[in-house]
Chains A and B, each alone.
Chain A
Amino acid sequence: MEATVLLALQAVLSGILVGGVYGILSIGLSLAFGVMRIVNFAHGELVMYGMYAGVIASRNFGVDPLAILPLSFLLTALVGSLMYQIVFRHFVGHATLQQLLAAIGCALVLQMIAQIIFGADARTASSVFAGEYVVFGPFFVAKVQIVAFVVAALVTLAVELMLRLSAWGKAVRAVADDLEAAEVVGINSQYINIGAFALACGLAGMAGSVLVTYYPTAPSTGFSLMPIIIIATTIGGLGSIGGTFLGGICCGVVQQVTAMMWNSALQDVPLYVLLLLFIALRPTGFFGVRSE
């Protein structure tokens, strides 16, 4: 009995740490939906490019992946604004069938370009914090996971504050609330949209460089991360940054508790059930914007 409780607490603890990283993986998707109603299925691919940036930094230049966060941000923000100019600017405002399919097309193209450049094998990066564990009482956690969680929480906080306090953030929220009214008071919504989309994509790349400190990457990793990103975003609420971060933590806890207490091969199945329940009963998640 005692051991079961300890195991459960350990599972919740590592769930929170993993979940924080799921949170930072997801906030970009949530932002793009909240401002432009774009569901970017290529979000995971940008995470994957951020992970490869971390791999190259640590393998070829001996730099810790966490040190190149601004660089990964710029790289994927650039890819994101290209994507916006070519594809997504045609679909702002409505998450239509065409928009979702176009995003899937982008995802396939980005994934295959990565496969042609980097090959299909999985690669790892090494962080200075790797391999060290912190023990307190009966619990232990890997140091990289603590660092990744802290970085994720700080980035989320920074984005949330920027959207709430800065003039640019207020303009973004104005466009998200009512595009026409925002234009009437002199906000150029095209500039705001492309900036917000670049920010969303840059966050994806940055999250990738955080994740790669303890998780290997392959060209298919981006697509395989998408379910958890979508679930975290839906549970937390599409469009809400803080809510999405909490949604990520929920996902992490459910996943780790399932893996440790029941069956690690089926660790994601309860998440899919949770997603279906949220869609059926509360599609705005905990803190989401109204969907249509």
Chain B
Amino acid sequence: MDAPLAASGKVTPQPARAARWRTLAPYVLPIVVIAVLPLLPFVNNYIIAATVRALIFISLGQAWNIVAGIGGQLSLGHGVFLGLGCYTTGILFNRYGIPPWIGGWAGMLISLAVALVMGSMTLRMRGVFFALATVAVSLALVQIALHFVDLTGGGDGLALKFFGNSLWAMQSRAPAPFLYGSLAFVVAYYWITRWVLASDFGFAMQAVRDDEVAAAAAGVAVFRTKVTGFMLSAAMTALAAVLYMQFYMAIDPEAAFGLSQAIQLQLPALLGGLGTALGPVIGGAVMIFLSEVTNWGSTKLGINGVDILVYGLMLLAVILRAPKGIVGLVFKNALGGSSR
């Protein structure tokens, strides 16, 4: 039975162009739709801004997905790298006039250094201690940022000086330019994740996630793999932070290092599907959509905090009912592996 099927598959190949289009269409279509969004008649700045928010959190979620989803290390303090990226670009720009094109790389280097130190101190331990250490570092940074008012603006936060529309300063009154910037980030991070998943390094990370002892026995350098994955994730977060900073134009200690921000960085991957490249993309879109709806609902009802209640319930529902996220639910039968 198998042989004739295989043979018939060989003798009637699909036309090459149609086959290529069929594989590329799911990627190209959403990009085109988002790219022409500002041209559509019913789309206003509010919708564009919400889309930018979704794209930014997809990028940040994709970065967290590397360490937690593929690597299995629960970083509860990824706000550290978001905050370091934001504060570094902001301080360099406000004080020294250095544009975010350069400041972003400085933020990334600082994040890499911090991730290296944090990782080498805590990643030798299994289980909870890495998670606890990331919480400790982010909360320490909240206090430090609150204390050094001259540098960070303290509790009031740090607002970027506004120069009007300027490519050099990465500033714009309208949200449309950020749409293209964040879209580029999402595409790039998606491909980085796909590349990691298919690389030897990605296989090593997944092996460490699934069984550390077995991975070590198979010759994987467990500790080095964990630290490298953590550093890659930190660098990606800090670079995407440039976008966050330029779009929101301000950062304060809680928004940077606070635990509720850290949870927002985790939800896209958790909702969409941990350890998949597609997961954070779907999860980020769902998260921003739901938060817009609940924000609107809670202002209508006059109750604060409904959006965070919804985040908490989403987190519980996903973990208890659908641990593989939306991707896991949708592709349960269609896909065996987790390569998407």
Contacts and interface: CB of A to CB of B under 8 A. Distances in A.
B60 to A, nearest CB: 17
B122 interface: yes
Given A112-B305, A115-B305, A265-B147, A101 B266 contact: yes
Contacts of B309: 108-109, 112-113, 116
B143 A268 contact: yes
Contact of B319 (A102, A109, A231, A279): A102
B227 interface: no
A100 B305 contact: no
A100 B312 contact: no
Contacts of A98: 319, 323
Contact of A109 (B122, B127, B316): B316
Contacts of B147: 263, 265-266
Interface in B225-284: 259-260, 263, 266, 270
Given A102-B315, A104-B263, A280-B121, A95 B128 contact: yes
A90 interface: yes
Contacts of A265: 143, 146-147
B308 interface: yes
B10 interface: no
Interface stretch (A50-58, A164-172, A179-187, A269-277): A269-277
Interface in B136-184: 136-137, 139-140, 143-144, 146-147
In the complex, which of the residues A219, A272, A291 has the most CB atoms of chain B within 10 Å of its own CB atom? A272
Interface stretch (B19-27, B38-46, B50-58, B68-76): B68-76
Nearest to A95: B128
Contact of B303 (A86, A101, A105, A116): A116
Given A108-B263, A112-B306, A39 B136 contact: no
B135 interface: yes
A291 B125 CA distance: 9
Given A269-B140, A272-B139, A291 B306 contact: no
Nearest to B125: A283
A100 B309 CA distance: 17
Nearest to B212: A292
B74 A97 contact: yes
Given A108-B263, A120-B304, A265-B143, A97 B125 contact: no
A268 B316 contact: no
B126 A292 contact: yes
Contacts, number: 128
A279 B316 contact: no
Given A223-B259, A269-B143, A279-B122, A106 B128 contact: no
Contacts of B87: none
Contact of B133 (A105, A266, A268, A275): A275
Contact of A108 (B129, B308, B323): B308
A182 to B, nearest CB: 22
A108 B311 contact: yes
Interface of chain B: mostly helix, strand, loop or mixed: helix
Interface string B291-315: 0000000000001111011011111
Given A101-B315, A108-B309, A223-B259, A276 B320 contact: no
A268 B315 contact: no
Contacts of A95: 127-128
Interface string A85-123: 011001000111110111011111101110110001000
Contact of A97 (B72, B129, B135, B320): B72
Interface in A214-228: 219, 223, 226-227
A113 B305 CA distance: 9
Given A102-B320, A268-B140, A276-B136, A109 B129 contact: no
Interface string A277-292: 0011001000000011
B304 A279 contact: no
A266 B144 contact: yes
A96 B131 CA distance: 10
A86 B118 CA distance: 34
B3 to A, nearest CB: 45
Contacts of B129: 234, 279, 283, 291
B91 to A, nearest CB: 20
9 contacts: A86-B320, A101-B319, A104-B76, A109-B316, A112-B309, A268-B140, A269-B143, A279-B122, A279-B132
Given A223-B259, A275-B136, A291-B125, 4 more contacts: A39-B128, A101-B315, A104-B312, A115-B305
| Shortest Cβ-Cβ A-B pairs, 4 listed | A108-B312, A105-B315, A112-B309, A272-B140
